[in-house]
């Protein structure tokens, strides 16, 4: 299992009419885990504001494998599956596990960094790109570009 960056309880508000975790809640858990991962490397809101950067997603794919029920505790792993050395483009693979360690979903995301003023895609400053590349890599990680 890739390192876990988020653990949390399924709330009543995240359950659908079928009494299991609603589809969009999986994406919310994945996003929270990515934010927790970035913060663990120093990419907090203050730093991103100072750099005038924000992450932007091009694609988010969820593969649902098993039901997650109300009040279950979930764990979300994060690993880079693809990236450029300058940190300008990246892909994550994430897995959501139920409390019984059954893999419930897989999330694939592709993204980049955007300059919030120019609205253009940009590379990270060299020192931050180096920090970003410390993110755990998936077993089939590939360098891009």
pLDDT at residue 66, rounded to an integer = 97
Q: Which CATH superfamily is domain 4-122+131-143 in?
A: Hotdog Thioesterase (3.10.129.10)
Ramachandran area for residue 42 (φ above 0: left; ψ -120 to 50: alpha; else beta): left
Closest CA to 95 of 141, 33, 41, 20: 33
- pLDDT tens across the length of the chain (145 residues): 679 999 999 999 999 999 999 999 999 999 999 999 999 999 999 999 999 999 999 999 999 999 999 999 999 999 999 999 999 999 999 999 999 999 999 999 999 999 999 999 999 999 999 999 999 999 999 999 8
pLDDT at residue 145, rounded to an integer = 80
In the chain, domain spans: 4-122+131-143
Contact between 118 and 95 (Cβ < 8 Å): no
pLDDT at residue 2, rounded to an integer = 78
Q: Following DSSP, what letter does each residue of the chain receive, concatenated?
A: -PPEEEEEEPPGGGB-TTSSB-HHHHHHHHHHHHHHHHHHTT--HHHHHHHTEEEEEEEEEEEE-S---TT-EEEEEEEEEEE-TTSSEEEEEEEEE-TT--EEEEEEEEEEEEETTT--EEPPPHHHHHHHTTSPEEEEEEE--
pLDDT at residue 52, rounded to an integer = 97
């Amino acid at each position: 299992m890739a390192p876990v960056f988020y653990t949390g309880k399924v709330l009543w508000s995240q359950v659908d009419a079928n009494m299991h975790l609603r589809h969009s809640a999986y994406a919310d858990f994945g996003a929270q885990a990515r934010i927790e991962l970035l913060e663990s490397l120093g990419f907090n809101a203050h730093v991103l504001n100072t750099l005038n950067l924000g992450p932007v997603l091009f694609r988010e794919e969820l593969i649902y494998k098993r039901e997650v029920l109300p009040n279950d505790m979930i764990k979300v792993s994060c690993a880079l599956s693809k990236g450029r050395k300058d940190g300008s483009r990246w892909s994550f693979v994430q897995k959501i596990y139920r409390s019984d360690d059954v893999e419930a979903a897989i999330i694939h995301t592709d993204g980049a960094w955007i300059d919030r003023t120019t609205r253009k895609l940009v590379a990270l400053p060299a020192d931050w790109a180096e920090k970003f590349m410390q993110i755990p890599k998936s077993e089939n990680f590939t360098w891009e570009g």
